[in-house]
Structure 1
Amino acid sequence: MNSYMLVVSCLFLWIACKKSTNDGTTGPQTATRDSLFTEHFRRTKGWIAGDDGYSIRLTDGRTLWLWGDSYIDNYDAATRTIPCLFQVNNAGLLQNATNPADMATLLGAGKPASYFLHPGGWPTYWFWPGSGYQQGNTVYCFLDNIKTTGANGSFGFTSGGPNYVATIQFPAMTVQGYKQLPAQNGINFGAGFVPHPDGFMYVYGYKGDGFVGSKMYVARIKPDDPITSWQYYDGANWITDPTKAAPIASDGTSSFASGFKVGNKFALLSSEFSLGCTGKEIYAFTADQPQGPYSSRKLIYTIPEKAGDKYPFFYFAIGHPEFIDNQGLLVTYSVNGFLQCGPEVCINNRRDPDTYRPKAFRVPLSVLGAQ
């Protein structure tokens, strides 16, 4: 083999190796881990760790990140651990417009000091936040209404009834009040909001379908009236009866959590059912209109976190179209230890916060068919 052929062969070998890296990718035009953005959430003061992670870009350039169960302070620098039990059921992070590593923790005045305080009273009731949007000097945040069942363990909760909307005063970001949504047939609207030239705000919502699968729905509201202006898509028309809403996408083995617009495409994200520590995949569905029709699911990422042959319990694959760079769309997902099928994460009443922190990756817009 002459020197030229040797150089060419080495070049092709190097390219082949680059295409098979263990970072959730399998070739060109595929997703890649975003270690830099993941690092923004590795904090040691204020908000330390949490799950969910919806984001709302504000008109002054800041970003409001909304979290469910969260660990606040109590970080031990010597052991790099936190207590095993979280301190609040929800919290916010306000991200600086020019320095994304600069985030201020948002909490409330109650005990516990959750950012959103349920009118029904803790510990019987609490809120887990969904997404939201800004309209003028008000930020609307949709909240899952949660009630304890009194049972022990990680799943001792149920729905507390119709969900709520919180109003937040901009730019101070102080919570002003809560209004309850109408009953919506068990659909958790608040998985994403897309303003449309027709004057409506399109709202995505998900609903469990049996023990494993889920379905995604879409409705529309007037942005200044998120309580009484609801219209639900029934597969052909916009109607006012939520019991006749038709799913725009369904998946028998994964859970939807996010709907958004990226470029010229509307996209839905779901994550593989993972209670058995075997789920590892994140999927996308795309369409040209908010109501679809949507494509069949497409695998866009395989999470790299694992212990031996076990993958962590993970959920809430969320797209953040306000954070697009030359690597593509930012997507985050939540990890939450290994439940009972993997290594124990709570040792001597302390845990590594990385077992309960969001992870980030990037999806090229071409993977989603977006321009």
Structure 2
Amino acid sequence: MNDPKLQMPLRKGDPLPAQRLRGADGGDWDFYDFGASYPLESVRWEFEPTEDESGRMRIEGSLDGRTWLPWTAEVSGAGAVRSPIRYVRIAGAAEREPAFLAGTGLAAEPADEWTQLFHRREGWSGSDGIYSIPLNGVEAPGRAASSRTLFLFGDTFVGSVDRQTDERVGYAMINNSMALLDGDLPDPARISFRWGERDGKPAGAILPATPLARSHEGTYYWLQDGTSVGGKFHCFPLIVGPNPDGPEGFEFTVHGVAMVSAPMGEDGPELARQEQADTPLYFRSANGHTTYFGAAILPLTEEAGVPNPDGYVYIYGLQQNGGTKLVVARVPAGELERTDRWTFWNGSAWTGRKEECEPVAPETSTELSVTPLSGGWLDGKFALVFQQGGIHGNRVAASIGESPVGPFGPAIPLFYCSEPEAGNGIYTYNAKAHPHLSRPGELLASYNVNTTSWEAHRLHGGIYRPRFIRIRQIV
């Protein structure tokens, strides 16, 4: 009854592709793996257990195979939505073989073809960040087949990775890079990578040139999110400098936020014509917390092809307020470069005083996405996709909001990131969605994998790559 080759469930009541984990050391428990995360509606048997057997039976579910919670067929409220799980364990079922049926909720499945697209061994050979920007500005799912996508990356390895040993050889690390993909398919033949050069050596694709950046020694850019609005590229990079007193892997400090703008051509931003400026977007808020903007951008415009456009570009920021909290600014699309025209959400209204901004979500990560949704039980709502637990988190999560400013509800853990189990100082972080590369009804999302150990980077060239999943509704 549990055929792992079953098709992925599309709607409530569809069978889940469970595989029994033979030899799992669980005592009285039988373990099952769905291979992805799904909402579980019911458990059925070919021969239903007796009332006495049902009374002795225990069923538990888990997202990670470690933390288990009791599962019950009873949920409260009409149209109740179930949290996704990947693993089920059952005790007291005798020799009965169960079948598992999907419920209403969110599913998260590996998108291995996208993960493999960025597993390269020559030239660009590993990075984090990975924001995606449609060159034509159309953000709606299912609209990228005839367009091109610009990817923005953070710290990047340029060099070779040995195919036999997976060891890095002849490499350099730069602080940002880009890639250009033709169409909406993860085809290695249709993607090209680019970075800069300085003194004959690899350098970041965009180098700091603002007065603030030049006033500090050794600065570089981490690009944050970007957008294409009205035929122009914009991004809001962090101005970063060295901090040798930081812990291994975190020897940096942030000085501010810049703005980089350039005409968007057929081959991406025309960086030879770029303009850079310092901004007032890194500051201490009225409640005393460090706040900055540019972590995510949502163009809610007709050009973007999104539902219910209002003509504004929403720029999301972070506030370090007992954790990483989400704050929001917006500006009419035609005035994006005018930071003096930006307004900030203060919890009840828009204000020109950035210091009054208030969080709209209790939890997020330092990179994230906010996406309008269409169809299903989430029609008309907005999905905040992020890494739960920040850089120490190992779950991709989503919070659902009623508008671009929320309020966003409790985090829904969607997918367990297992990479840290390998040790070597590995951690996962900064999940986000890529809506225009998604199929209709789905959200393609990525998360970053890194290590605090430079030796692990050198010996294991496969660590430092983005991983991809698909998030979708089951109705």
If the length of structure 1 is used for normalisation, what is the TM-score?
A: 0.83
Partner of 1:167: 262
1:150 Cα shift? Answer: 3.7
1:54 Cα shift? Answer: 0.6
Partner of 2:328: 218
Partner of 1:108: 196
Partner of 1:89: 175
| Matches of 2:349 and 2:119, distance apart in 1 | 45
1:262 Cα shift? Answer: 3.1
**Any conservation in 2 of the 1:216–1:256 contact (CA below 8 Å)?**
no
Say if 2:350 is the partner of 1:241: no
**Any conservation in 2 of the 1:262–1:321 contact (CA below 8 Å)?**
no
Q: Alignment partner for residue 258 of structure 1, among 353, 357, 369?
A: 369
Give the CA RMSD over aligned residues: 3.1
**Cα gap change, 1:224 to 1:147, in 2 (>3 Å):** farther
**Any conservation in 1 of the 2:159–2:172 contact (CA below 8 Å)?**
no
The 5-angstrom pairing of residues 89-238 of structure 1 reads 89-97=175-183, 99-101=185-187, 102-111=190-199, 112-119=202-209, 120=213, 124-151=218-245, 153-173=248-268, 174-175=270-271, 176-185=274-283, 186-196=291-301, 197-210=309-322, 213-228=323-338, 229-238=341-350
The aligned amino acid for 1:323 is: L
**Cα gap change, 1:227 to 1:311, in 2 (>3 Å):** same
Deviations 1:295-331 (A, max 9, x none): 1111111113243689831111011111222782111
**Cα gap change, 1:161 to 1:222, in 2 (>3 Å):** same
**Cα gap change, 1:168 to 1:158, in 2 (>3 Å):** farther
Partner of 2:447: 333
Partner of 1:356: 464
**Cα gap change, 1:365 to 1:131, in 2 (>3 Å):** farther
1:156 Cα shift? Answer: 1.7
Q: Alignment partner for residue 384 of structure 2, among 252, 268, 286?
A: 268
> Which has the higher mean CA deviation after the structures are superposed, 290-299 or 16-25?
16-25
Say if 2:150 is the partner of 1:64: yes
**Cα gap change, 1:325 to 1:227, in 2 (>3 Å):** closer
**Any conservation in 1 of the 2:18–2:34 contact (CA below 8 Å)?**
no
Q: Secondary structure in 2 aligned to 1:249?
A: coil
> Which has the higher mean CA deviation after the structures are superposed, 168-177 or 59-68?
168-177
Q: Secondary structure in 2 aligned to 1:21?
A: strand
1:110 Cα shift? Answer: 2.9
The aligned amino acid for 1:200 is: Y
The aligned amino acid for 1:90 is: N
Deviations 1:84-142 (A, max 9, x none): 97521000010111653221112123354211101135961110111111123311122
**Cα gap change, 1:366 to 1:192, in 2 (>3 Å):** farther
**Cα gap change, 1:110 to 1:150, in 2 (>3 Å):** same
If the length of structure 2 is used for normalisation, what is the TM-score?
A: 0.66
1:73 Cα shift? Answer: 2.5
Deviations 1:28-54 (A, max 9, x none): 352111111111111123311100111
Partner of 1:284: 398
Say if 2:40 is the partner of 1:21: no
Runs of 4+ in 1 over 4 A off after TM superposition: 11-16, 83-86, 253-256, 308-311
| Matches of 1:154 and 1:16, distance apart in 2 | 39
Deviations 1:253-310 (A, max 9, x none): 965622222323212122133666xx32121111121111211111111113243689
Q: State percent identity of aligned pairs.
A: 25
**Any conservation in 2 of the 1:255–1:272 contact (CA below 8 Å)?**
no
Rg larger in structure: 2
Partner of 2:377: none
Q: Which runs of 5+ in 1 are unaligned?
A: 1-5
The aligned amino acid for 1:194 is: P
Q: Secondary structure in 2 aligned to 1:224?
A: helix
Pairs aligned (count)? 349
1:209 Cα shift? Answer: 2.7
| Matches of 1:190 and 1:254, distance apart in 2 | 9
Partner of 2:117: 40
Q: Alignment partner for residue 305 of structure 1, among 400, 403, 419?
A: 419
Partner of 2:455: 346
